[in-house]
Copies of this chain bind each other. A is one copy, B any other.
Amino acid sequence: MSVIYDRVALIGLGLIASSMFWAMKRAGLAGEVTGFARSAETRKIARDIGLCDRVCDSAAEAVEGADLVVLCVPVGAMESVMRDIAPALKPVATLSDVGSVKRAVIEAITPLLPKDVHFVPAHPLAGTEHSGPKSGFAELFENRWTLIVPPEGCDRTAVERLTKLWQGMGALTDEMEAEHHDLVLAVTSHAPHLIAYTMVGVADDLRRVTDTEVIKYSAAGFRDFTRIAASDPTMWRDVFLNNREATLEILGRFTEELFDLQRAIRAGDGDHLHAYFTRTRAIRRGIIEAGQDTDAPDFGRIKHD
């Protein structure tokens, strides 16, 4: 693979930025990669582990001369970072981000955008429950979707160049309109995360069932919820506050359905429950066929002989 951008700046050095760095380096997609993180401790770790070719002490310094600048900070921090870097952005640079919410980010960034900078928002649907500069690895994006969400009138050359970068890091790519992105993500990610957080919180609250028991016996199903409920709190707070309408809409639908199933349990309506559970099996099958999960029992946690 040949170099796609001579100079890339990563602002924010968490799971996504660090994975991007290792993925770009592995594939030789970028010349020099600079990085900046607000926390001095994160910058020190980054320097210690060789994350980024050059770690800078200000965001403005990191973006100077960069052909591509990627904002990898929580959605709620995008606007303030943008204020810091806007004057330092190189003309005709591409600005992108990796936020899990797109409409709110576009609304925050666009008014601050220098006229000659192309803003191409993106969202890699990849992640783990781990966070921080040490959590990244080159394979994170492999065979995972990255959604490119170009605003109206976005420069096509800039879009295609960024798409190539993501593909070079192993991602599958699609383009999507911001509103639709936020709704799809509310269903596939934001509502499930809030539900998982809630169930874990309930388990933690119950006084008659001790913490120890919940933890010991978690393999019965609960532990699958705890993985996503262990994700970065700041990132998720910002996601919910910035994709409020779509998330609340899906949660409303969820509550309706849950009440319906609770009613069926109370009434002893086994046929209704059985039919519902049979339908949901098919979706799992679809995900496995689409290559988005493993068919190995229990996510392959169990090692067979």
> Which residues of A are at the interface with B, using a C-beta cutoff of 8 A?
76, 100, 125-130, 135, 137-140, 142, 144-145, 147, 174, 183-185, 187-206, 208-209, 211, 213-231, 233-234, 236-238, 240-241, 244, 247-248, 250-251, 253-255, 257-258, 261-262, 265-266, 268, 270, 273-274, 276-281, 283-287, 290, 292-294, 297-305
Contacts and interface: CB of A to CB of B under 8 A. Distances in A.
B184 A287 contact: no
A233 B187 contact: no
Contacts of A258: 194-195, 198, 251, 255
Contacts of A273: 233, 236-237, 240-241
Contacts of A224: 192, 196, 224-225, 227-228
A112 B126 CA distance: 54
A285 B204 CA distance: 13
A273 B232 CA distance: 12
A201 B257 contact: yes
Contacts of A300: 299-301
Contact of A140 (B195, B265, B302): B302
Contacts of A297: 128-130, 135, 137
A281 B229 contact: yes
Contact of A194 (B135, B201, B261): B261
Contacts of A247: 265
A292 B217 CA distance: 8
Contact of A222 (B188, B205, B266, B268): B188
A276 B202 CA distance: 11
Given A145-B217, A297-B128, A302-B128, A229 B280 contact: yes
A263 to B, nearest CB: 10
Nearest to A130: B297
A90 to B, nearest CB: 32
17 contacts: A140-B302, A145-B216, A145-B217, A187-B203, A188-B214, A191-B202, A198-B258, A206-B253, A215-B292, A223-B293, A227-B284, A227-B298, A233-B277, A240-B273, A241-B265, A244-B266, A248-B265
